[in-house]
Structure 1
Amino acid sequence: MTDALTITRLVPADLPAAAPGLAALLLDAVDDNASVGFTASLTAEQAAAWWASLDSDLHEGRVALWAAHDRDRLIGTVQLRSETSPNGRHRAEIAKLLVHRVARGRGVAHRLLATAEQFAHVSGRTLLMLDTQTGSAAEHLYRRAGWTPLGTVPDYAADPSGTLRPTTFFHKSLAGR
């Protein structure tokens, strides 16, 4: 991992300046055929608009968003999406853990995941959930990071090319940390 890696939490005021870099990360993931909720037809404008749409969720505290930079280049991001229903305020979901292809294999994803987990813990969240494409590098990352698989659903989500892929759901308890 590079010594120049910094991870910062983004606030709504950061979104306009960060949107192009975040959009580039999302486009890179989709171009690499990652099943992250978008198809291959995603444009830079659509990707930037999707990130900008997080503004109210960030304002209301439903989403926490971090960006990883290597010097002045945005190379990764992760979200923590908090449950807001009265009976679910103890849990949250890890979402959109993205690392640019040029930065993979240097521990960036692990650091982003650990940052989101630590924030969840200090925020009183005791249960985390996530899902990822079965057999992906992300699935292996989550297993190495101590996440417990719940099960796999066949044909759960389409990858960017439109092919239905299985998805593995995971959980991690933060109680007693």
Structure 2
Amino acid sequence: MKHTLSVLVEDEAGVLSRIAGLFARRGFNIESLAVGPAEQMGISRITMVVPGDDRVIEQLTKQLYKLINVLKVQNVTEVPCVERELMLIKVNATASTRSEVIELAQIFRARVVDVSEDSLTIEVVGDPGKMVAIVQVLQKFGIREIARTGKISLTRESGVNTEFLKSLEAKLA
């Protein structure tokens, strides 16, 4: 199972390196990683997606807390969250296919951010499932390049679990 960890750290040189080293020493992979300033000056939030069972994640959490600059570790996998990723995708788009590519991008609420004679660069923001879906749809045109951020996540103050609401809506349809 994949777990999403939200880690607050002191914003100091080498913190990310020590965290990555901890994972490497234990032979664990980080599937997604996003780092940026948090709400408080001098604090950064690291959001990472890590494969493993509950026991492994519990052990990693304990190990993370042993690192000097780590302030808080939260496993937000089962907590209602707002999750987003950003992806730039460069797709072949000839004169004959350009309008179809643009139409598909609009269906995904994506934006065309660059145009050339034979390609389009599209910006997509959303949950990881949306990223996979648009890549599959655009595959037939020929994908030249993809750049993705890691997943970022904040817990929902409302406590509303949108995944639960989506499953309920699907049952009613």
Normalising by structure 2, we get a TM-score of: 0.27
Bigger radius of gyration: 2
Normalising by structure 1, we get a TM-score of: 0.27
Higher relative contact order (CA 8 A, sep 6+): 2
